[in-house]
């Protein structure tokens, strides 16, 4: 789909350097998965689902693995920077491309701030002036916000220096990030493991299936697993993307699922039975602000607690570092597609998207004001991220028809069946995030379209993309339908109770299938797809022409 003109046409532009090794690409995804989610997820999932949180972790892992497999096929077909924001654009055109790119960016740009908040929440053990409790929620103090901004600035500087320093820094951090959680699992199981906890205070599943489903969306489980797509976002910066992207995405998810299930088992077993006397919903213990460190102290493993407090800074910082890069690549892709001002697509002489990195820093810092605590941000990030994931199966289904003969180094077996299933389960995760969270997401989507409209008016006419209205006609019923379903759902999910539990799952599934097959039916023609892909390829090739 490339042309000789594209290959020779842009010798004057800077390029995104292909400096990311296969191991570096794996660590980019795994480093995003092992962030603050492991520090808090086991506690919050237990409070929502009790010991049945184990089922929620397995189910959530399967959901995310399915979505990862769909991403992996498209990533092997089209290894371009900011890929997951571009796949819907390839299949459905500019309006869909902008909407999904905007939603994905919203989720990504909020991750660095939440990782900083997680680190400072644990560090409160040593520096109590960093946070305080407001209405039962731990939030940053004024000093904590200043320290958070300084940490965000450090992430930004590393990203501005270049991709090699970013991945080399992450590789070093990853050795620590993987070792400490596995060490915590081993020590807690050996030192203190109370099997009675798995059936205490109401049995294995005290809150029923509703508790399990809520834990997947609001207990930090999906938030913990997100990040596999970071290898795709940096896919244009590795030398053999068709091989390295699928291996990185799938490998990171498998390791992540194994680790998080083991962490939940260790957490449940290490609790003292007396701490469950008021039930799982009111589970609390000394040091619960830093759950695993608090447990380590309680069971007499003070040395492990010290390591965990150190890790509580290093692990989230590593994830925040990666997401600073990932969010900037997404806004870079939006700029390259001319959805937002074209300056966002500028590449510096060090081969990094300068304006996009600085913009991510500014927006990330602003988020500390309305969302000064970890718990206040996690639901929003989960819902936004999964909605971004949800549309990739649509692009997958469309691309199987638009480009059936395109080389697929990784081809998902039974993809025609698994793609609509992936779309259903992603929509269920969004639905289970509750109306309390979802109305904020839909408001942010509306604001995004306001910005899109402004860009269409203010951008030069030669930079205004074709809007592709017909192929985007499924988007409005999808957004409106998901908002209505969330609002009308059971009171257990903060809805008004019009649709009873059980039936709501069936309704969401039927609605999802209707949207899936309608969207595939109005997909762009193969020629239109090739035009969009060629545009992206020309940009990527232009960036590669000049080694800086």
Express each pLDDT in 355-413 by its tens digit.
Answer: 888 888 998 898 888 788 776 788 788 888 889 888 889 999 999 999 888 888 778 88
Tell me the pLDDT tens digit for each residue of 496-541: 989 988 899 999 999 999 999 999 999 998 888 888 777 666 655 5
How far apart, in Å, do the first and last CA atoms of the chain sit? 26
**pLDDT tier for residue 143 given thresholds of 50, 70 and 90:** very high
| Exposure class string for 260-286: b at 16+ Cβ within 10 A, else e | bbbbbbbbbbbbeeebbeeebeebebe
CATH number of the CATH domain containing 209: 1.20.1740.10
Q: How confident is the model at residue 548 (pLDDT cuts 50, 70, 90)?
A: very low
- pLDDT at res. 131: 85
The chain-wide mean pLDDT, for the chain, equals: 82
Nearest one of 11, 17, 9, 80 to 548, comparing CA atoms: 17
**Encoded tokens for 378:** 């996690």
pLDDT at 322 over 70: yes
Domain membership of residue 274 (yes or no) is no
Whether residue 279 is contained in a domain is answered as no
User: Which residues have C-beta within 8 Å of that of residue 130, sequence separation ≥ 6?
Assistant: 120, 121, 123, 124, 140, 141, 143, 144, 147
Residue 276, in any domain of the structure = no
Whether residue 273 is contained in a domain is answered as no
Residue 321 lies in a domain: yes
Between 6-15, 97-106, 306-315, 403-412, the lowest mean confidence (pLDDT) is in 6-15
Count of domains for the chain: 1
pLDDT at position 159: 75
Residue 296, domain extent: 4-194+204-267+284-544
- Top mean pLDDT of 11-15, 206-210, 331-335 is at 206-210
> Does some domain include residue 277?
no
Residue 455 lies in a domain: yes
Q: pLDDT tens digit string along 227-267?
A: 777 776 665 566 676 677 778 888 888 889 899 999 999 99
pLDDT score for 241: 67
Q: What is the pLDDT of residue 502?
A: 85
Residue that wins the pLDDT comparison between 199 and 378: 199
User: Could you tell me if residue 225 is inside a domain?
Assistant: yes
Give the β-pairing of 131-134 and 137-140.
antiparallel
């Amino acid at each position: 789909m490339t042309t000789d003109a594209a290959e020779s046409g842009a010798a004057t532009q800077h390029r995104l350097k292909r400096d990311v090794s296969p191991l570096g690409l794996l660590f980019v995804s795994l480093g995003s998965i092992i962030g603050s989610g492991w520090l808090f997820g086991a506690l919050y999932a237990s409070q929502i689902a009790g010991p049945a949180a184990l089922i929620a972790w397995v189910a959530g892992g399967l959901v995310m693995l399915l979505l990862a497999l769909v991403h992996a096929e498209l990533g092997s077909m089209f290894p371009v920077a900011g890929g997951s924001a571009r796949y819907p654009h390839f299949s459905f055109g500019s309006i869909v491309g902008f909407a999904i790119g905007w939603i994905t960016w919203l989720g990504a740009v909020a991750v660095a701030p939440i990782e900083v908040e997680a680190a400072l929440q644990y560090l409160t053990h040593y520096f109590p002036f960093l946070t305080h409790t407001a209405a039962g929620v731990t939030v940053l103090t004024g000093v904590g916000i200043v320290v958070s901004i300084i940490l965000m600035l450090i992430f930004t500087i590393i990203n501005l220096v270049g991709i090699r320093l970013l991945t080399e820094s992450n590789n070093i951090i990853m050795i620590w990030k993987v070792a400490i959680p596995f060490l915590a699992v081993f020590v807690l199981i050996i030192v203190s493991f109370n099997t009675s906890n798995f059936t205490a205070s109401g049995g294995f599943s005290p809150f029923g299936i509703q508790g399990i489903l809520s834990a997947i969306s609001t207990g930090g489980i999906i938030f913990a697993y997100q990040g596999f797509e970071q290898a795709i976002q940096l896919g244009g910066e590795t030398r053999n993307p068709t091989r390295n992207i699928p291996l990185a995405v799938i490998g990171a998810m498998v390791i992540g699922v194994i680790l998080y299930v083991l962490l939940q088992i260790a957490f449940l077993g290490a609790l003292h039975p007396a701490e469950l006397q008021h039930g799982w919903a009111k589970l609390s213990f000394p040091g619960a602000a830093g759950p695993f460190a608090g447990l380590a102290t309680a069971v007499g493993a003070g040395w492990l607690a010290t390591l965990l407090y150190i890790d509580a800074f290093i692990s989230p910082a590593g994830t925040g570092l990666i997401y600073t890069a990932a969010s900037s690549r997404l806004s870079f892709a939006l700029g390259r597609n001319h959805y937002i001002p074209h300056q966002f697509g500028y590449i510096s002489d060090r081969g990094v998207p300068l304006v996009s990195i600085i913009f991510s820093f500014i927006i990330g810092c602003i988020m500390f004001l309305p969302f000064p605590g970890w718990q206040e941000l996690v639901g929003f990030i989960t819902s936004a991220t999964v909605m971004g994931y949800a549309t990739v199966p649509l692009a997958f289904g469309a691309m199987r028809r638009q480009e059936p003969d395109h080389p697929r180094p990784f081809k998902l077996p039974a993809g025609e069946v698994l793609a609509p299933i992936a779309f259903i389960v992603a929509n269920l995760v969004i639905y289970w995030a509750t109306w309390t969270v979802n109305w904020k997401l839909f408001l942010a989507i509306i604001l995004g379209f306001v910005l899109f409209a402004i860009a269409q008016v203010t951008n030069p006419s030669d930079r205004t993309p074709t809007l592709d209205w017909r192929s985007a006609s499924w988007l409005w019923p999808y957004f409106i339908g998901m908002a209505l379903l969330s609002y009308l759902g059971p009171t257990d999910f903060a809805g008004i109770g019009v649709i009873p539990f059980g039936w709501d799952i069936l309704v969401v599934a039927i609605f999802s299938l209707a949207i899936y097959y309608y969207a595939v039916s109005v997909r762009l023609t193969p020629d239109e797809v090739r035009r969009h892909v060629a545009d992206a390829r020309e940009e990527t090739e232009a960036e590669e022409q000049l080694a800086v």
